Amino acid sequence: MMVTTGQPSPATRTGLPELRPGTDEIVTGALGDLAAEPGRPRPVLLDHDLLVLVTHGHGTAELDFRPVPCRPGTLLRAHPGQALRFVGTQLDATVVSWRPDALRGLDVDPDAVPAHRQLAGEDEDAVISEVSQLAVDADRHALVPAAAALLRHQLAVLLLRLSLLPHPGDGATPRAETETFRRLCREVERGYRHTRRVEDYAAQIGCSVRTLTRACLAVTGRSAKQVIDERVALQACRLLAATDESIAAIGRELGFPEPTNFGRFFTREVGVSPGTFRAERERPLAVRLVRPRPPADSPAPGGQA
């Protein structure tokens, strides 16, 4: 299966690769020529969970507007709702995509895998072996219902292996504050379209505003209010970059009835107006001038936190 990041239709939010409703839970594919339409290198909004393991070539991935240099051994973990695009003349990768229920009943946390790793040595060999076998079996047994359990367990083993790899900064933040931050992120993910008030989230979690702020400062260096506002700004960036929705419609979707209020909020958070940001996204990655500040990677940023 060849997968590219060409321009979707105005109303389409694309996943890589496509999963057929009601049939496939886990699908593998390949990234071919990633020099998508040069006139409009638009990212796609993902519909499914994704692992991308770069196998050949050099280029750049952009995940939620953060550029990541890619070379053999680069691993990306992306979540539904994130914006993704690649720039590279001959950048090849193996792609694994799955539905949330593909891991039902299995003791694995797919969110424990970081957004980006550069694998090397024995870790790289082991991951390449498992990804390759998963791809072979997914292709060989694509129409065999009995193979679903095999693929599910292969995916679980792969995610467990990746979650156990050492990650810089592990243990640097007290566990209680990390858990409070994760709880906030989960609540923000459910409610950012409806409220940006720290007090509302503190009430939902059952703690004080001060506790939330202290946890966010410990994990991210930013206040709870900044974390909440950055999540809203990130979603605005995704919709501006990957869809043809009007600026006013995007603002309403994110809780801003008045376009002027949305414009002021976006400009404060990102540094440019919504219109300027959208125009900049039409340019190739190498000359992009604006980078929004997404929330921390843990838990899943803008995904299924």
Q: Of 164, 196, 212, at which residue does a domain stop?
A: 164
Residue 191 gets which letter from DSSP? H
CATH of the domain at 159: 2.60.120.280
Most confident listed range (73-82, 88-97, 274-283, 290-299): 73-82
The answer to whether position 9 is within a domain reads: no
Using the predicted structure, report yes or no on whether residue 3 has a pLDDT greater than 60. Answer: no
Is residue 40 domain-shared with residue 160, that is, in the same domain? yes
Using the predicted structure, report yes or no on whether residue 23 has a pLDDT greater than 60. Answer: no
Is residue 222 domain-shared with residue 94, that is, in the same domain? no
Residue 165 gets which letter from DSSP? S
Number of independent structural domains in the chain:
2
The answer to whether position 287 is within a domain reads: no
The answer to whether position 6 is within a domain reads: no
Domain that holds residue 232: 176-282
pTM of the model: 0.78
Question: Tens digits of per-residue pLDDT, 93-123?
Answer: 999 999 888 888 898 888 888 899 999 999 9
The answer to whether position 138 is within a domain reads: yes
CATH of the domain at 199: 1.10.10.60
- Residues 13, 9: Cα–Cα separation, whole Å: 8
At residue 140, the 3 state secondary structure works out as helix
List beta partners, residue 245: none
Is residue 156 domain-shared with residue 207, that is, in the same domain? no
Q: Taking residues 162-177, what's their average pLDDT?
A: 73
Question: Tens digits of per-residue pLDDT, 268-288?
Answer: 999 999 999 998 877 654 433
Q: Which residues are CB-neighbours of 197 under 8 A, at least 6 positions away?
A: none
The answer to whether position 304 is within a domain reads: no
Is residue 148 domain-shared with residue 191, that is, in the same domain? no
